[in-house]
Structure 1
Amino acid sequence: MKRPRRRRGGIPLRAILPNLVTALGLCSGLTAIRAALLGEWEAAVLLVLVAAVLDGIDGGIARLVRGETRFGAELDSLADAISFGVAPALILYTWSLNGIGRFGWLVALLLALFCALRLARFNAGIDRTDPPHRPHGYLTGVPAPAGALLALLPLYLWFWSGLPELRMPALVAGWTTIVALLLVSSLATFRPQFRLRQRIRFEAVVVMVALAAALVAVPWTTLALLAIGYLVSIPLSVRSYLRLRARLAATGGIGIASAPESEDPEPPAAQDTLL
């Protein structure tokens, strides 16, 4: 009698590429920490941005090659906790917050801890009294990459203007605390759509090229404006979500969740793209 063939463990070969991109993002975040410890502030910030770009494409690559795995999702969360929680916290601490001693370290800890809590919150799905609804296009709170980019806003402005007031520990501590609270908030925020497709519109190519040119020519001005623009979008997204809930409730719409969609819209085996 022939015995059934045992299924070997491991991950499929097609999952190597997206996991490699995630690992590169993790290396970028860790190298940003090294740059911060050496006082290389611009390099540190740029490395966090590289990690954010890699985080934005790893999930798309995983879906493109059908390489979504639970292993990839867990690796992605670990990379995000370091690149968008620990790295920005240490950058801000070594740049400014160490000027107020233990209180500055407490603020840095809050940013790193709240980023990790955000990731754990949605990985566990503890807020999902109803299933998430992707068509509505919202996230709960500020996603981790956006939170990191918002937290570093004082550095963009400092690189841009050189004003010493922007490095004041009290000012940086207050801003960092606000961003940390946004990470774990229940505010509805717009969910950006970054999906790799075989064809994209010419207008999208124009926008991406213009953005790339702006980042090369005037990086800190561009990043500051992007961060401020995203901050302005938060009250707009909250109002939009509340109107959507009221409209669906009035028309008897089915399936609006009691909380906006989390950043883990894929099945558990899928790779997260916006934590």
Structure 2
Amino acid sequence: MKRFGPRNSDSLDRVPVLQLLPNMVTLAGMCVGLTSIRFAMDERFGAAVVLILLAAVMDGLDGLIARRLQATSEIGAQLDSLSDFLCFGVAPAVLIYKFLLAPAGSLGWIFVLVFAAATCLRLARFNVMSGKAQDVDTANTHFLGVPAPAGAMLGLLPAFATLGGVVAFDQAPLVVAVWIGIVAVLMISKLRTLSPKAIRVPRRLIGPIMFATVIGIGLTFSRPWLLLLVLDLVYLGLVLRSLIEARGRLFG
């Protein structure tokens, strides 16, 4: 005969610690993003950028871990979205303002608010769409608009160029303001940007890609800002390609 009592009810209240791991990674990423804001306020801009990049890595890991452990949950999805807003909306905006836009004063701050608001809207739209069955196929191959982490990386392009000594964008705050405004528009647009899941590499390019990976590893330790700038420009090229294709579908 089965016994029903405190022992069974107690077991129902217990959750395997591995089930908590994805949310723990998400919270850790949020803390990293918040620490990036602190470093930006202390004018330690290089460290602040690195922390945002680390937050992006952790943002990818939490979803992967959740799927592997079959630990996905509604609260995890909402927590991830809130963390993304802080790490990829607020943190990059504060960093860009302190590093490059402060000379523009109130005008620079307006564009910072626009960028943060666009990130918030982008994430809200993603949350609404993720629950619709008809959007599953599109989500597997394309995003609507530039995703928040990618938008943060594009927004940081002037910081990469300045830290790498390529272009001194700290001397051109209005250019930076216009740039983050453009990125904000790309995030909230309905432009279909390619998802990494849809990328297919021709076999003849496997060798060159492996060789480029070795070069990239070398640049990581010698010219990391230059590497990040190049990666940003490559992604920007993909976005421009999507724009051209969208224009062709519209007017073709």
TM-score by length of 1: 0.75
Correspondence for 1:55: 59
The letter of the residue matching 1:76 is: D
Name which of 142, 146, 152 aligns with 1:142.
146
- Alignment pair present for 1:175 and 2:167: no
Gapped regions of structure 2 (runs ≥ 5): 199-205
Gapped regions of structure 1 (runs ≥ 5): 195-201, 246-275
- Alignment pair present for 1:232 and 2:237: yes
**Structure 1 contact 14–66 (Cα < 8 Å) conserved:** no
Return the alpha-carbon distance in structure 1 between the equivalents of residues 172 and 131 of structure 2.
37
Deviation at 1:122, TM superposition (A): 1.6
Q: Residue 161 of structure 1: SS of its match in structure 2?
A: coil
| Alignment map for 1:122-137 (pairs within 5 Å) | 122-125=126-129, 130-134=134-138, 137=141
- Alignment pair present for 1:37 and 2:29: no
Deviation at 1:13, TM superposition (A): 3.2
Return the alpha-carbon distance in structure 2 between the equivalents of residues 24 and 14 of structure 1.
15
Deviation at 1:87, TM superposition (A): 0.2
**Structure 2 contact 161–169 (Cα < 8 Å) conserved:** no
TM-score by length of 2: 0.82
Correspondence for 1:160: 164
The letter of the residue matching 1:140 is: L
Go from structure 1 to structure 2 and tell me whether the alpha carbon gap of 1:13 and 1:155 turns closer, same or farther (over 3 Å shift). Answer: same
Correspondence for 1:248: none
Q: Percent of aligned pairs with the same residue?
A: 37
Name which of 190, 202, 211 aligns with 2:216.
211
**Structure 2 contact 155–183 (Cα < 8 Å) conserved:** yes
Deviation at 1:57, TM superposition (A): 1.7
- Alignment pair present for 1:117 and 2:121: yes
Go from structure 1 to structure 2 and tell me whether the alpha carbon gap of 1:168 and 1:244 turns closer, same or farther (over 3 Å shift). Answer: closer
Return the alpha-carbon distance in structure 1 between the equivalents of residues 12 and 236 of structure 2.
48
**Structure 2 contact 140–197 (Cα < 8 Å) conserved:** no
Size of the aligned set, in residue pairs, is 238
Return the alpha-carbon distance in structure 1 between the equivalents of residues 240 and 51 of structure 2.
29
**Structure 2 contact 100–170 (Cα < 8 Å) conserved:** no
Return the alpha-carbon distance in structure 1 between the equivalents of residues 139 and 186 of structure 2.
23
Deviation at 1:206, TM superposition (A): 7.1
Deviation at 1:124, TM superposition (A): 1.9
Go from structure 1 to structure 2 and tell me whether the alpha carbon gap of 1:30 and 1:132 turns closer, same or farther (over 3 Å shift). Answer: same
Deviating 4+ runs (over 4 angstroms):
2-12, 126-129, 202-210, 238-245
Deviation at 1:82, TM superposition (A): 0.3
Return the alpha-carbon distance in structure 1 between the equivalents of residues 188 and 16 of structure 2.
34
**Structure 1 contact 121–127 (Cα < 8 Å) conserved:** no
**Structure 1 contact 11–69 (Cα < 8 Å) conserved:** no
**Structure 1 contact 26–83 (Cα < 8 Å) conserved:** yes
**Structure 1 contact 12–67 (Cα < 8 Å) conserved:** no
Return the alpha-carbon distance in structure 2 between the equivalents of residues 95 and 135 of structure 1.
35
Return the alpha-carbon distance in structure 1 between the equivalents of residues 64 and 211 of structure 2.
21
| Alignment map for 1:252-267 (pairs within 5 Å) | none
Correspondence for 2:73: 69
- Alignment pair present for 1:222 and 2:200: no
- Alignment pair present for 1:184 and 2:188: yes
Go from structure 1 to structure 2 and tell me whether the alpha carbon gap of 1:179 and 1:135 turns closer, same or farther (over 3 Å shift). Answer: closer
**Structure 2 contact 129–135 (Cα < 8 Å) conserved:** no
- Alignment pair present for 1:108 and 2:117: no
Go from structure 1 to structure 2 and tell me whether the alpha carbon gap of 1:3 and 1:79 turns closer, same or farther (over 3 Å shift). Answer: same
Correspondence for 2:28: 24
Range with bigger deviation, 86-95 or 68-77 = 68-77
Return the alpha-carbon distance in structure 1 between the equivalents of residues 194 and 96 of structure 2.
26
Correspondence for 1:266: none
The letter of the residue matching 1:231 is: L
Correspondence for 2:203: none
Deviation at 1:239, TM superposition (A): 5.3
